[in-house]
Amino acid sequence: MMQFLKKAITTAVLTVSLIASLASAKAQTTLTGDTTGDPTFIRPIATYDGQLGNDGISDVSAPYEVVTFTPTVTGRYRIRETANFDNFLLVYAGGFDPDQPLGGGLGNPSYVNLASNDDFPTVGVSGIAALQLTAGTTYSIVTTGAAATDFGAYTITIDLATVTGTTIGAPTYARATNPNEESQFTGIYPITTVKADAGFRYAVVPITFSEAGLYRFNAEAVTNGYDLFITLYRGAFNPANAATNAVFANDDSPNTNAISSLVYGLEAGQTYTLVVSSYDTVAGRQPGEFFVNYTKIANPQTVYTGSTTGRQTLNLQNQFNPPITVVGNATRYRILRFDTTTAGVYFFKFFSTTPDFSAVVGTYEGPVTPEAIGANILDLELYGTQTNIVKTLYTFQRGYNLPANFSLFYLVSGIDNVDVGNFRVETYGPGVVAAVQVAYIRGAVTLKTFVDNPPAAPVTFPVTFTYRPTTGVDIVETFDLTSANGNFYANIPEGSYSLGIKTPRTLQKVFLGVDATDGIEIGLNALLVGADSNDDNFTDIRELLVLIAAYNKISPAAGYNAAADFNFDGANDITDLLIIIAFYNQQGQFLP
């Protein structure tokens, strides 16, 4: 995110090697079952979700089932169970006795309840972060329910940890953070600064992948009470300035502080650095043992490359409260539209590829207007504080659950008027996302009848905009405008158009030579005239006959005809007749 290091940094760090191909070399064991109709027992109580031990017997009598596992390699194992009910997981050495679930039974002193867990990190998922198991020893894994009514099918996966490490005895630093950490500590957020406390112990995991894609990283605590915090760096990690090169961080996964997790799109051949530390420096919450694993969950679906160089400008400074401090107030921008065909969760990764190009990036669920960049907005990324912008070379990523055939709009702008450059956007998800460069179109529509006879209260009327390109098919959009505010804006693919503007009850106004090739066309102001009851773009005998049939009828009375209400006032009366007379035998403009 920050300016890349120009030279190597020599420092004392604790490094854990991570080999990208290691995950595929580790065998995973999968066990399945179903507790429906099984015998019941009184289960223990877990002392800490995802950690070792238990704290006595509960009052829950739930169905249970036992499966066994005998590892061939001694090491720390990750045990994770998913179920279609609120499951509860226990692991025993030396067999299992349902009458003595805390261990010590079976006349066998080696009979021990090694671990128990309820939600890890959420209902329907139970697990143990990293449990030391011995080759050749058979372990009993017991599946039961959190309550007596919890039972059903389950799947258990067991594998060796990809990386095992510790921050015990590790060096300390001031870890990376951002100004909103306290309100976002359970989420994934960009990094802009470091903590004042320099007592965070950390371990470093360098990573290089041969395949680009969207990867999920999990760091799971082994030490009881260890509150993990992970930060991902694109490039080198400098403990003297932990914000440099940082791209993403995470504190807690849902329902547990024993797991920190993030999902990020990685480039092939690029070295990344994962730093494992803790949320705070309170005794008992750090240091500790951990392990890291990762999974590739998607390939890149769309890669868009573009630039803001030579583009139109927007006034960014005054759109924040308080206003941001920038050099000048005319920043160059580009608007993109990403169209889905398949519903699902999509990730959009932005990366500025020009040195010193600091960007504001906004994502929108509707069209973007540079005069009010907060309208329709989902997220706005602005690096640094609003009163002290830090120019950075950075990347960031956001994920959205989008329906099929949905358009997500994307604004890229410089922070100040000298910030221009190249950028790349990568998308990951269940389907291909079409990337379209779109222009900003702006204008205003009013009706002559509103000018001649201003309505006492604002009147709403529908307007259809037909954009006819030089080649290709028409783009048709319809919006409701009002007599008090007829302003409209739209984002359409960059290009040259003829634009037709019409309501169902007026004649059409056409603008020729609408040039949206440079990303903007404004000043498209239309005064709509005439009467049109059948949308044929003529004012003639047809309108007169329709009005005569409904004359002197007022909505919602029977006989009122909205098609003959040419001034949208809810009445078929003399005002509508005068409009017909004024424009009788006239036609609207037609698109070429």
What pLDDT does residue 330 have? 79
Judgement on whether residues 354 and 249 belong to the same structural domain of the protein: no
Average pLDDT over residues 266-287: 87
- Tell me the pLDDT tens digit for each residue of 467-500: 999 999 999 999 999 999 999 999 999 999 999 9
| Domain hosting residue 232, numbered range | 171-297
Has residue 4 been placed in a domain? Answer: no
Residue 95 sits in a domain of what CATH number?
Answer: 2.60.120.510
Has residue 237 been placed in a domain? Answer: yes
Domain endpoint, select from 364, 399, 426: 426
Sheet of 271-278: strand order equals 188-189, 246-250, 228-234, 271-278, 203-208
What pLDDT does residue 394 have? 47
Has residue 121 been placed in a domain? Answer: yes
Judgement on whether residues 290 and 323 belong to the same structural domain of the protein: no
Q: How confident is the model at residue 178 (pLDDT cuts 50, 70, 90)?
A: low
* Complete DSSP assignment for 395-420: EEEEEEEE-TT-EEEEEEEESSTT--
**Higher per-residue confidence, 571 vs 23:** 571
What pLDDT does residue 2 have? 24
284, 44 Cβ separation under 8 angstroms? no
Has residue 6 been placed in a domain? Answer: no
What φ, ψ does residue 320 adopt, rounded to 5°? -120, 150
Number of domains in the chain: 5
- 441 vs 47: CA distance, rounded Å: 60
Has residue 431 been placed in a domain? Answer: no
521, 467 Cβ separation under 8 angstroms? no
Cis amide prior to 322 (ω within 30 degrees): yes
Judgement on whether residues 45 and 135 belong to the same structural domain of the protein: yes
As a whole number, the mean pLDDT across the chain is: 82
Residue 545 sits in a domain of what CATH number?
Answer: 1.10.1330.10
413 to 247, 331, 362: CA distances (angstroms)? 19, 6, 9
User: What residues pair up with 207 in beta bridges, in sequence order?
Assistant: 272
Structure tokens at 54: 């238990």
Has residue 366 been placed in a domain? Answer: yes
Domain endpoint, select from 491, 510, 528: 528
**Residue percentage of the chain with pLDDT more than 90:** 43
279, 243 Cβ separation under 8 angstroms? no
Residue 360 sits in a domain of what CATH number?
Answer: 2.60.120.380
Judgement on whether residues 524 and 543 belong to the same structural domain of the protein: no
336, 362 Cβ separation under 8 angstroms? no
Residue 473 sits in a domain of what CATH number?
Answer: 2.60.40.1120
pLDDT at 275 over 90: yes
Q: How many CB atoms lie within 10 A of CB 294?
A: 22
What is the CA 41 to chain-centroid distance, rounded? 43
Q: Taking phi first (over 0 means left), then psi (-120 to 50 degrees means alpha), and beta for anything else, what does residue 258 get?
A: alpha
Judgement on whether residues 47 and 150 belong to the same structural domain of the protein: yes
- Tell me the pLDDT tens digit for each residue of 420-435: 888 888 898 888 899 9
The pairing of beta strand 434-447 with beta strand 520-528: parallel
Residue ranges of alpha helices (H) inside 269-426 are: none
Has residue 491 been placed in a domain? Answer: yes
Where does 35-187 show beta strands of DSSP type E? Answer: 40-46, 54-63, 65-69, 75-83, 87-93, 112-117, 125-133, 139-145, 153-160, 163-166, 172-173, 176-177
- 526 vs 466: CA distance, rounded Å: 13
Judgement on whether residues 519 and 548 belong to the same structural domain of the protein: no
Judgement on whether residues 479 and 575 belong to the same structural domain of the protein: no
DSSP class of residue 169? T
Judgement on whether residues 176 and 292 belong to the same structural domain of the protein: yes
Domain endpoint, select from 488, 505, 528: 528
- Tell me the pLDDT tens digit for each residue of 109-160: 778 888 888 877 668 888 887 788 999 999 999 999 988 999 999 999 998 8
Has residue 302 been placed in a domain? Answer: no
Closest CA to 287 of 168, 389, 464, 126: 168
Judgement on whether residues 74 and 146 belong to the same structural domain of the protein: yes
Judgement on whether residues 196 and 273 belong to the same structural domain of the protein: yes
